[in-house]
Amino acid sequence: MSAREGFAARACSEHARALATSLVAAAAIAAAARAEEPPDTIVRDVPPVVVQDVRPENLREDPTAFSSVVDLEAYAGEAKSVEDLLSQVPGVQIRRFGGPGQPSEISIRGSTASQVVVLLDGVRIDSAQTGTVDLSTIPVDLLEKIEVTRGGGGVEQGSGAIGGVVNFVTKRPSAEPRTVLVGSLASFGTGEGSALHARRIGAYELTAAYQAFTTRGDFEFQRPVTRFAGVTIVPDPPTLTRINNEALIQSGLFRLGRDLGEGFHVSLQDSLTHSSRGAPGLDSGAGAFGGQQPFAHQRFTRNVADLSLEGADVAGLGLDVDADLYHRFQRIQFRNPEPTFGPPIDTAQDNQTIGGRLRGEKAFTLVDTEHRAMLGFELFDDRLEATAFANPTRATFDTTMQDEISLFDRIVVLVPGVRIDLTEGFGERAVPRIGALVTPFDWLRLKANFERAYRVPSFDELYYPDEGFLRGNPGLAPEEAWTYDAGAAIELPGSGILDRITLEAAYFDQDIENSIVWVLVSPFTVAPINTGAATARGVEASASVALLRWFEARASYTHLDAFFDSNGAPLTGRSPNELSGRVTVGPPSGLFRIFADALYTDVIPVSESGNTILPARTTYDVGVVVDVVQIPWLGSKLPMRRLLVSFEASNLTDVSVRDAQFFPQPGRVLSVKAEATF
């Protein structure tokens, strides 16, 4: 295992010292072996929608951006995770470090997880400590949609938006009060349940929700067979059961809003997530457990509070304003009384962000040209409270200016913008962008973007305490990048049996300077360094077709070429090709829906030389959803408006799957789910 891959796994799982000790031992062996690694060395595992709503919880509409919206209503009743849904978006790759309930991370257009900004209802939840978000902590049952912007978002979101932006939007009250109860059971002792109530009462709106997920996670897996110097090395034992893999993840959401009249609306929201789970770590060792940690355990807590005020056409001036005050708190606790290396581990870190932002937009006409100008300000403070880290803090002030210029009756739209960022300890920088949209026909859109993006180092990267084998690097420079893309989108109206057909394709290029990578800086020490320039470029495409209001097929494809400029070595953990597809069949009434999903992932390089890889694989998911209320002889006897019951088989062919070299995932998973709406 390379030092780069091993520490990426450590950073994602956020239990630093346990995996770091394993990393140093494995990396030292790998470093010695790389010089002798033959070209054929291989690791084998044995058997586009633009957002229209401009409420602050949504991403601001950008007509030139390549963006997608995952509408969870299209998957109602299915046992899908956040990772499953995002894996169907072009340009997106998901990296799981185990089965359900274990950490997972996102990559957009070849980015690292820390180069993607993650929001919950418009508020950042990626912490300054790690710069990443564990997707397994996102409560899927509480979501209404997922907004994904692919490509640099430095002007809109600031530090970290090199690959793109993901915004998880929670459910809102509809015209009628609704209560939704969900329960599911799946293989390996997995269960999930949730309850949500949302309603409007006069000028008020209320949402309250809770979700719980639990699993034993005790699946059996086959260990990788390694071919080295013409010799096949079969691990002993060849199969193991994942131990210490149980998880309990709970999430709650409360929102209270009120219309104030004169176009103003105020809302207060709080979302809380807590997880308690085993941390089995790598399966790269010997012995009865194969190197797995039987006693390591992590507790994670995240709370995000937001008070927002929005106003439309303030004082009749055509000025739209929104203001936010927000606070994010995160606690990470990790214990391992008997680690493989070193003394017992018992650590805790608290990190929090408090900030505010103000943004105004105004539409006007100037010299026969339509404009929609935006000016925004944001001030926030990040701090980490952990004795070993010496309690670092960092303040940031941003000013954002952007205009949407419409020419020739909106046939041409230009979006220039700039963000002025002042981050404590890293000085001032200007982040410019320009986007263009040309619509020569109603059914054809041509788009292009050119943007500067950046990422300041995380507290872990800067200040991780020197433990001999692992330390931070306070001399790190920020990652800087130029990102650009160009492509076309086609949407043809229905005719005859054809309801709709859409096509989109884009070329993208991300040129990253001062890439931050954790590497061996001495025979026994891992630390982050600026490694120089890296490039991630490729093509993404998607298509969908709907027929007779009964049939829909969708597919997306991403080709990625990601490498270090200095030597052409691949950026590890990224597959060069990924293809996903989905087919659904069912009447427009929603009585039933039969679905089938497929995901092909090409080989994944896990060594810097590119000679050690995880093999390509294809997984298939199939299932059926039935609305029992619509069954004539039964529905009239039920008190709910909708009762969805589903049966699903994930990884139908029981393929052995790994996104990281020493983190196995389960094979075939069977699940049953019920979702009642009152």
Residue 45: is its pLDDT beyond 60? no
Q: Which residues lie below 8 Å from residue 283, measured CB to CB, with a gap of 6+?
A: 221, 223, 240, 290, 291, 292, 662, 663, 664
pLDDT > 90: what percent of the chain? Answer: 76
Query: Of 294, 298, 299, whose CA–CA distance to 340 is shortest?
Result: 294
pLDDT at 44: 30
Token representation of residue 185: 């059971």
Token representation of residue 34: 């790389």
pLDDT > 70: what percent of the chain? Answer: 90
Angstrom distance (rounded) from CA 105 to CA 111: 11
- The residue ranking higher by pLDDT, 26 or 222, is 222
Residue 423: is its pLDDT beyond 60? yes
Kindly tell me the burial class for residue 532, based on how many C-beta atoms sit within 10 Å of its own C-beta (0-12, 13-18, 19 or more).
middle
**Residue ranges in 87-188 assigned as alpha helix (H):** 154-157
At 634, which helix (H) or strand (E)?
A: helix 632-635
pLDDT at 416: 98
Q: What is the pLDDT of residues 536-560, one digit of tens each?
A: 999 999 999 999 999 999 999 999 9
Question: Using 50, 70 and 90 to split pLDDT, how confident is the model at 121?
Answer: very high
- 3-state secondary structure labels for all residues of 465-479: CCCCCECCCCCCCCE
pLDDT at 59: 65
Question: Using 50, 70 and 90 to split pLDDT, how confident is the model at 25?
Answer: very low
**Does 100 sit behind a cis peptide bond, omega within 30 degrees of 0 on the bond before it?**
no
User: 335-369: buried (b, 16+ CB within 10 Å) or exposed (e) per residue?
Assistant: bbeebbeeeebebebbbbbebebebbbbeeeeeee
Lowest mean pLDDT across 128-137, 409-418, 464-473:
464-473
Angstrom distance (rounded) from CA 586 to CA 627: 11
Residue 32: is its pLDDT beyond 80? no
The residue type of 485 is D
Given this structure, which CATH class describes domain 3-677? mainly beta
Q: Where are the beta strands (DSSP E) in 367-462?
A: 369-385, 393-407, 412-423, 427-441, 444-455
pLDDT at 468: 67
Question: Using 50, 70 and 90 to split pLDDT, how confident is the model at 228?
Answer: low
Residue range 306-329: mean pLDDT, rounded? 94
Residue 48: is its pLDDT beyond 50? no
Tokens 């020739």 correspond to 408
CB 436 within 8 A of CB 451: no
**54, 60, 61, 298, 321 from 312: Cα distances, Å:** 11, 15, 16, 45, 7
Residue range 289-301: mean pLDDT, rounded? 94
Angstrom distance (rounded) from CA 246 to CA 74: 30
Angstrom distance (rounded) from CA 290 to CA 324: 49
Angstrom distance (rounded) from CA 511 to CA 200: 48
* DSSP label at residue 387: G
pLDDT at 58: 66
Angstrom distance (rounded) from CA 553 to CA 531: 43
Angstrom distance (rounded) from CA 164 to CA 95: 16
Angstrom distance (rounded) from CA 407 to CA 420: 27
Angstrom distance (rounded) from CA 433 to CA 359: 18
Question: Using 50, 70 and 90 to split pLDDT, how confident is the model at 246?
Answer: very high
Residue range 181-197: mean pLDDT, rounded? 98
Question: Using 50, 70 and 90 to split pLDDT, how confident is the model at 233?
Answer: confident
- The residue ranking higher by pLDDT, 519 or 276, is 276
Question: Using 50, 70 and 90 to split pLDDT, how confident is the model at 57?
Answer: low
Lowest mean pLDDT across 49-58, 253-262, 611-620:
49-58
Query: pTM of this prediction?
Result: 0.90
Kindly tell me the burial class for residue 47, based on how many C-beta atoms sit within 10 Å of its own C-beta (0-12, 13-18, 19 or more).
exposed
Where do the domains of the chain lie?
3-677
Query: Of 468, 541, 473, whose CA–CA distance to 502 is shortest?
Result: 541
CB 262 within 8 A of CB 255: no
Angstrom distance (rounded) from CA 237 to CA 644: 43
Residue 662: is its pLDDT beyond 70? yes
Token representation of residue 192: 């999930």
Q: What is the pLDDT of residues 408-417, one digit of tens each?
A: 999 999 999 9
* C-beta atoms surrounding 673 within 10 Å: 21
Average pLDDT, the chain: 89
* C-beta atoms surrounding 130 within 10 Å: 23
Q: What is the pLDDT of residues 69-97, one digit of tens each?
A: 999 999 999 999 999 999 999 999 999 99
Question: Using 50, 70 and 90 to split pLDDT, how confident is the model at 288?
Answer: confident
* DSSP label at residue 357: E
Residue range 557-573: mean pLDDT, rounded? 94
**46, 102, 138, 220, 658 from 664: Cα distances, Å:** 11, 11, 21, 9, 5
> What's the half-sphere exposure (Cβ side, CA atoms, 13 Å) at 8?
30
Residue 11: is its pLDDT beyond 70? no
Residue 4: is its pLDDT beyond 50? no
Residue range 448-468: mean pLDDT, rounded? 92
Lowest mean pLDDT across 42-46, 352-356, 461-465:
42-46
Q: Where are the beta strands (DSSP E) in 202-344?
A: 204-215, 220-222, 225-228, 231-233, 239-241, 247-261, 264-278, 297-314, 319-336
pLDDT at 520: 81
**83, 122, 137, 369, 467 from 92: Cα distances, Å:** 10, 20, 18, 36, 35
The torsion angles phi and psi of 281, rounded to 5 degrees, stand at: 70, -150
The torsion angles phi and psi of 50, rounded to 5 degrees, stand at: -90, 135
- The residue ranking higher by pLDDT, 525 or 199, is 199
3-state secondary structure of 60: coil
* C-beta atoms surrounding 490 within 10 Å: 14
Token representation of residue 228: 């080295």
Residue range 235-258: mean pLDDT, rounded? 94
Q: What is the pLDDT of residues 208-221, one digit of tens each?
A: 999 999 999 999 99
Q: What is the pLDDT of residues 510-540, one digit of tens each?
A: 999 999 988 888 777 889 999 889 999 999 9
CB 194 within 8 A of CB 212: yes
Token representation of residue 504: 């989109």
Angstrom distance (rounded) from CA 103 to CA 420: 34
At 551, which helix (H) or strand (E)?
A: strand 551-564
Query: Of 415, 481, 424, 426, whose CA–CA distance to 454 is shortest?
Result: 481
Residue 119: is its pLDDT beyond 60? yes
Residue range 421-437: mean pLDDT, rounded? 96
